[in-house]
Amino acid sequence: MKSIDGMRIIGIIGYPLGHSLSPLMHNRAFEHLGLHYQYTLFPVKEEELGHAIRGIRALNIVGCNVTIPYKEQVIPFLDYLAPGAKTLGAVNTIVNKDGELWGYNTDGIGFYRSLTEELGTDVQGKKALLIGAGGAARAVAHALLEAGLQELVIANRNLDNGKRLANELEKRGYQVQVVELKEEILRKFLMQMDFLINSSSVGMYPQIEAGLPIKQEWLRPPLILCDLIYNPVKTKLLQMGEAQGCQILNGVGMLVYQGAAAFELWTGQEAPVEIMKKSVLEFLAEES
């Protein structure tokens, strides 16, 4: 059995935690590099959130990830926010720097690194149709616009939620259009887009047959299709795009790269992204 003497602790705080892939991905990476760290689950009830965050400092824990439903609620308990987390008002990574708790958000950079490194493309001067307006959509929208995306159209089931995200982006000086998630509207916009990005939960396990109001024949190269969902690794949307000859990108890369960015903040070492990705893909293959 591995000795736990001197083991440094990292974890993920959320509730309920369900099937988080982060412990597997990070522990595999620590083992690969021979680092004496252990990543564990911290399912924390809402009334205990403040105690749990202060406990990071008290117990000298290296840091943690934060997931649903606490990405916004943890902020009052932190000492400093990195600029990205401040802009989003959401934290997915906490780093304990000599007793000072810093909040970061690595979701947007995770998606962007996945896009640029896995597809070898960038978004400078390009146009994207983003489906969804939840937490993941916010991180992705900010990251893409910061990276020079020229035009962003947000399509969301609940138009008010879409408008709220658009208002937030417009306050930062970006021009964004919001449309309803309807067939005839999506058809019209898809003809003009470079990227279609699904950041809604439509098509996610176990509802893998749920579909967006998009017909396969509307998906034509050079349109690039991205789906933030990683389970299944190839959603119905990505299958349709692939059958049409479009380049496709699933959510595994975003999961891995947001984790890699957190790993680097905690350890100061370059994350072994290929090892992390392999652990996630092996797990998902066993699950299906």
Catalytic residue list: 71
DSSP result, 81-112:
E-HHHHHHT--SEEEEETTEEEEE--HHHHHH
Q: Which is nearer to ligand NAP, 21 or 96 (CB)?
A: 21
Residue with tokens 């824990």: 61
Give the Å distances, CA to CA, from 36 to 4, 62, 101, 280: 8, 12, 21, 21
Q: Are 277 and 221 in contact (CB under 8 A)?
A: no
Give dist(CA 230, CA 208) in Å, integer.
11
Q: How far is the CB of 138 from ligand NAP (least distance, A)?
A: 8
Q: In the chain, what is the straight-line distance between the N-terminal and C-terminal CA atoms, in Å?
A: 30
Taking the complex as a whole, the smallest distance from the CB of residue 251 to ligand NAP amounts, in Å, to 3
Smallest distance from ligand NAP to CB 14, Å: 11
Residue (178 or 254) nearer to ligand NAP, CB = 254
Question: Toward ligand NAP, which CB reaches closer, 57 or 164?
Answer: 164
State which residue, 207 or 269, has the beta carbon closest to ligand NAP: 207
CB of 199 to ligand NAP, least distance (A): 5
**Which residues, in sequence order, are bridge partners of residue 225?**
196, 248
Of 105 and 200, CB closest to ligand NAP: 200
From residue 205, alpha-carbon distances to 65, 110, 176, 232, 287 in Å are 23, 21, 30, 6, 11
Angstrom distance (rounded) from CA 112 to CA 165: 19
Helices (H), the chain: 22-33, 49-58, 83-88, 107-119, 135-146, 159-171, 183-190, 236-243, 252-267, 273-287
**Phi, psi (deg, nearest 5) at residue 275:** -65, -40
The two tokens of residue 279 are 């652990």
Interface ranges with ligand NAP (CB under 6 A): 107, 132-137, 156-158, 161, 181, 199-202, 204, 228-230, 251, 254-255, 258
C-beta of 79 vs 287, nearer to ligand NAP: 287
Q: How far apart are CA 59 and CA 115, in angstroms?
A: 37
What CA–CA distances, in Å, run from 268 to 92, 102, 206, 243?
18, 15, 37, 42
Which residue's beta carbon is nearest to the bound ligand NAP? 134
Least distance in angstroms from the C-beta of 3 to ligand NAP: 32
Quote the CA–CA distance of 77 and 216 in Å, as a whole number.
47
Least separation in angstroms between CB 58 and ligand NAP: 29
